[in-house]
Every structure is written in structure tokens, then in C-alpha cells.
Structure 1
């Protein structure tokens, strides 16, 4: 199993392979990480690991999962995560490739990343200016009946989209949706409106087929709930937020 040491970026969000995530980086420990990544040659990938924070960790008064702006550099890179930081995070995360890192005038950063591969956290090093994790690759296995399950999930996803957005909104056509079952599984996991623990379960599913089966169940349940709700402001619900570090 391939291992690597990569900077670690904890979030109250889940990044999936192939999906894009915008980040608003303002804490000193993560600014230091971005400055380090900017030293990487332009021809090389600027990689770090995005990992979801376990419930009840790093919770600020502004809301669940929002980092504490009072976590000053002198408190160290593990501030808010306890004496053994690895225990504060889910063990399966996703490698992020930073497509753009833009520094603002105030020293904060605007970053856009794409998820690449799943990894498992083995350990977390808090001795430097930011957290660094030793990780190992988590291979993506297809599992049994992934192709058939993928078709069922796409049908369920279209019904979910239509119910969520309302009949007046344009839904994705078949030609706009991918054919590869693993890509389908990650796209649906990212696009469905689910809480972090549910998304984390999908990320760490042992294979594509298992992920698709769980998505099928989740989509059917969510669609049934939406049938009994009044019209929702779909554009507000489906817009991707920019995640603060």
C-alpha cells in the first residue's frame, strides 16, 4: 500500500474524488499551508488532504463546524483538536489538488481544489506550522452489480432533483450524466443534500456497489420526504457554499 506525508486540511465537509470544492482560508495555520503549497513548482500538483471533522470537534459559537477565529498561531496547528488530533477526524479523507490559490490583500486565501483519490489517515504530526498527515491510498473497487446499480441511482437521482427543484427547473439530461459507476457514485454523493456523517459514510464505503446501494436507499427516502413538503427555494438549497477553514 502506497503511503505519503501530506498537509492536512480539516473541514466540516466531505470532499469526493472528481468533485470541486472552493475554500476560504483565513486561519494562520492554514495560511501557512497555502504559502508552503505556493512554493511547489507549477508543473507539480499542489496536494493536501481534506478530512472531515468528527461531530462535536472544533465547534465555534458561530455554528457547528465553523473554526474558532480565536485559535491563534501560538496555540499551535492542533488548536481545537485535542491532545491527539487524529482522534478528532474521520479516518478516510480525500486528496485535494489545488487548481488555484489566490492570496487576498488581507493575507487570507481563495482556493479552489479538485478531489483526486481517497486516503486513510495513519497518523497526524502537529510539530510544524500546520498539520501533516501520514496517509495510505484507499483503492476504489467496483463491487458486484455496480453497473446495474449505477443506472438505478441515476434514475432515482433524476427523480430527487425534479422533486427538489420543482417542475419549472431544468434537471440534468441523460447525456450530461456520467457512465462510469464510481464517477456516478461520487457525483450523487456530492450533489445530494445530506449531513456530513451521511456523506462520510458514502466516501468510506468499501466499494462502488456498496456506495450506490446506500445512495439508492437515501435518494428514495429523501424523495419521499420531499413529496410531503411545500415548494422549496431550490436554488438556495443546491448552491455549493464556499467552506471556511
Structure 2
């Protein structure tokens, strides 16, 4: 069974449980925010965030004849898996723009993209299952991945406070690492689309081990004396 969902194409990857602030200035998405705010309390105040493969987040201006704006992207411009953003806080600015705070909620697979009567894109989506109870494999992997993540962060930002508060739930941990590590969009998208927590943690362990090795080698390379002798840049 599929559901129809408003879609917001972005250049970022949203994960369940992670915060995403947005500044809404296009009229099509202002209309979407107004519709979400007007929904009743029992209805989910959420829209789908789908990552762009290529293209722009900003739509071209409508033609001089006042026709409706052209579709922002085609289905081929988007990745197949996205995550809903639940509206948590809305600030309307004097000129009609919005600053909103959202939180990632549910993963979904895009079945089709439509430009219907609404000014924004919609998609027919199929919800992806989440682990209600992490598997024994995920429970065993979580401490190893957390240790690898701490090592990675220490190499990335030496002498900084590393992960003061760590989630106990392996699924939450896997989403946190995927969202905060310095990964490519393709890697983040791969992790979002991974079906289960254990698979996501395995991939993260492999990626973090690779990245920590690269960071360690970079830090071990001595700085040439000629570089130290150069005058400091005024910028």
C-alpha cells in the first residue's frame, strides 16, 4: 500500500531523529507550510525530504504569462529513498517567508513523482520498516561502531569533547553517525537506504575505519620547513 506525500527536494540527506532547520522563501513551499500548520492535531504535520542527485533546490521563475512554475526536478533527479520531516516549530516572517524547525521521522521509498494541482511536488511512497527491537547483531555491533566513531572524531578534531551524550539505542546511534560524520552524499544516501540497523552499523564500521586510517596518515605527514617560513596570510 502506498501513500501520497508532499516532497521537498534538498541537497542534504535527512535521517530519522535528526533536526533539520529550513528557511522557506519559495511560494510553493510557503503554501506547503501554511497547509501543514492548518492540519488538525491528529494528522501528521510532515513532508518528504528527498535528496537531489543533480539539479537545483530553487525552481526557475514562472514565465511572464503568469503560468504555474515548472516542476523543480524530474524523478530521475532524485534518489529513491527519503525521510519525512515533521514540523516542530514555525516562525512566520513579516514578508511571508518562514523559518521552520523539523525532525526526521519515517523513511520511505519513492514509487513515483507527480506535479499535480498543488504548487509543490508530491510522491507516491512506500514506507520502509524500522527495527522495533534491534537485532542481537546490532546490539553487538553498536559498541564497536561507537569506539570507531570516537577514534574518528578525535583524529578529526583533536582535543575536543567527543560525544558527551551517546544514544543507547543502536538504531538511533546508526542514524546519528550517518548524519554527523563527514561523508559524501552518496555514502549518506546508501546508509539511509540500508534496510536494517545491523547492516547500517556494518557499513559505518567499514567507513569509519577507512576514514580514521586516512586521517592518521595525513596527521603523520611532516610539514615542510619552507611552509613554516612563509608569512602568514592576512585572510
Q: Could you tell me the TM-score, scaled by structure 1's length?
A: 0.80
1:134-173 matches, cutoff 5 A: 134-141=124-131, 142=134, 145-167=137-159, 169-173=160-164
Q: CA deviation at 1:199?
A: 0.3
> Counterpart of 2:17 in 1: which secondary structure?
coil
Q: CA deviation at 1:45?
A: 3.1
Change (3 A) 1:180 1:77: farther
**1:78 pairs with 2:71:** yes
**1:102 pairs with 2:91:** yes
> Counterpart of 2:38 in 1: which secondary structure?
coil
CA distance in 2, matches of 1:118, 1:22: 18
> 1:104-146, CA deviations, whole angstroms, 9 ceiling, x for partnerless residues?
1222211111111111111222022111111111002456611
- Match for residue 225 of structure 1? 214
**1:45 pairs with 2:57:** no
CA distance in 1, matches of 2:69, 2:77: 15
* Aligned-residue RMSD, C-alpha: 2.1
CA distance in 1, matches of 2:120, 2:28: 5
**1:197 pairs with 2:196:** no
Task: Between 68-77 and 23-32, report the one with greater CA deviation.
Answer: 68-77
Structure 1 segments (4+ residues) deviating >6 Å: none
**1:181 pairs with 2:170:** yes
Aligned length, in residue pairs: 214
Query: Which structure's relative contact order is higher, taking Cα pairs within 8 Å and 6+ residues apart?
Result: 1
1:20 and 1:115 in contact (8 A); partners too: yes
1:77 and 1:131 in contact (8 A); partners too: no
Q: CA deviation at 1:69?
A: 6.0
Structure 2: runs of 5+ lacking an equivalent: 220-235
Task: Between 138-147 and 176-185, report the one with greater CA deviation.
Answer: 138-147
> Counterpart of 1:129 in 2: which secondary structure?
coil
